[in-house]
Amino acid sequence: MPRLGDAGLRIWNETKAEVAGALGVGMDVLHVPFGLLLFIAIAALFRRRGHAFVIAIVGVSALQLLNEGLDAIQWRSWTGGISWIEAIEDSALTLALPLLVTAGTAFARRGLKGKSGDASGEEALSGSVPEKTAGTAERR
């Protein structure tokens, strides 16, 4: 007898397969752009918070765990086991670009902060220039 969630899992899997087919790529490849799109969306949603990228990484990780949990339920019903290797590969594909963006941004902020004097990394990345204080001579 089918369980209540079986229809939802089937629809989820069929939707992923249809999107992959429409794009002409394998289902594994979908993890890369969707991971990045989710990361950007979550970071934009929390952009006013101090650690938007960290929140976005946690959010993408949580959604990826949910996706792999759903995949594991399907694998178990199909094969009697779970493909841990595929789960790890999918997770690596999903998180690769968000982690690179986060690390690159962190390194850029540190580098720009050191070159911009007292400007914070946020100011350095935004291109803002600290105002000169009265009496400060310009060096040429």
**pLDDT at residue 1 in the model:** 43
The per-residue pLDDT for 50 is 80
d(CA 41, CA 117): 32
Question: What does the alpha-carbon distance between residue 69 and residue 71 come to, in Å, rounded to a whole number?
Answer: 5
pLDDT of residue 89: 95
What does the pLDDT read at residue 115? 65
Contact 119, 130 (CB under 8 A): yes
Looking at residue 110, its pLDDT comes to: 83
Residues 6+ apart with CB under 8 A from 80: none
- pLDDT, tens digit, for every residue of 61-96? 999 999 999 888 888 888 888 889 999 999 999 999
Q: What is the pLDDT of residue 34?
A: 93
Distance CA 20, CA 34 (A): 11
Residues with pLDDT less than 70, the chain: 1-5, 114-140
